[in-house]
């Protein structure tokens, strides 16, 4: 037995491993070219405890394919830096419901990891899709106080484009997760 290595901040200069095309999971020369499904855009802003835009964060997403599987051809991984407006934006396929523990079913969701200067360890949250009937019975959402669930539920701004803003700290602080 050994102990897991300590996390350290990604710092402000992580962009040396930023490959901007990775924010488009459906890019022509990427691993998912030609895979069918409902094309969606996921976008949002990241702000700090003062409401200031976080313009140097690395956002990663990880999610299942349209059938709710992780072991198929689809690679639901993306990486995107926040821009001068604190914004991130991904293009991908909408995930399907994923089996949960026991006989449960998880509502469609996207795992989000946030790395930045000032984060000694990365933060993890989830994006759910507003109005999905499975949200009502999602086992993870059930663990979140009702009044804070909205911080994990993306809303459609136009059809196919879902918005979820991330607040690292403060009044409407995003719910962060630990497994």
Q: Interface with another protein by CB under 8 A: which residues?
A: 1-17, 31, 48-50, 52, 54, 56, 60, 62-64, 70-71, 75-77, 98-103, 106, 109, 111, 113, 115-124, 126, 139-140, 143-144, 168-170, 173-179
The DSSP-derived string for 81-146 is E--TTSEEEEEEEPP--EE-STT-EEPSEEEEEEE-TT-SS-EEEEEEETT-GGGGG-TTGGGS-G
Say whether residue 11 binds Fe ion (CB under 5 A): yes
CB of 18 to another protein, least distance (A): 9
CB of 139 to another protein, least distance (A): 8
CB of 127 to another protein, least distance (A): 12
- From another protein, Fe ion, none, which one binds at residue 149 (CB under 5 to 8 Å depending on kind)? none
What is the Cα 150 distance to its own chain's centre? Answer: 14
Q: Which one of 7-15, 80-88, 128-136, 152-160 is the stretch in contact with Fe ion (CB under 5 A)? A: 7-15
| Residue with Cβ nearer Fe ion (11 or 156) | 11
Q: What is the rounded CA–CA span in Å between residue 101 and residue 145? A: 20
CB of 56 to Fe ion, least distance (A): 12
Map residue 13 onto helix, strand or coil: coil
Map residue 60 onto helix, strand or coil: strand
Instruction: Judge residue 93's burial from the number of C-beta atoms within 10 Å of its C-beta, 0-12 exposed, 13-18 middle, 19 or more buried.
Output: buried
Q: Which residues bind Fe ion (CB under 5 A)?
A: 11
């Amino acid at each position: 037995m050994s102990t897991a290595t300590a996390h350290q901040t990604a710092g402000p200069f992580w962009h040396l491993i930023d490959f901007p095309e990775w924010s488009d999971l459906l890019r022509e020369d990427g691993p998912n070219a030609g895979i069918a499904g409902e094309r969606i855009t996921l976008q949002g802003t990241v702000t700090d405890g003062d409401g200031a835009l976080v313009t140097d964060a690395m956002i990663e997403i990880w999610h299942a394919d349209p059938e709710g599987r992780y072991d198929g051809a689809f690679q639901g991984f993306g990486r995107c830096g926040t821009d001068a407006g604190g914004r991130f934006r991904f293009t991908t396929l909408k995930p399907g419901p994923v089996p949960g523990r026991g006989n449960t079913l998880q509502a469609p969701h996207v795992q989000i990891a946030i790395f930045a200067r000032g984060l000694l360890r990365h933060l993890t949250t989830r994006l759910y899709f507003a109005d999905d009937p499975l949200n009502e019975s999602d086992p993870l959402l059930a663990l979140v106080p009702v009044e804070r669930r909205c911080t994990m539920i993306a809303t459609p701004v136009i059809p196919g484009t879902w918005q979820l803003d991330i607040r690292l700290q403060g009044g409407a602080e995003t719910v962060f997760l630990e497994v």
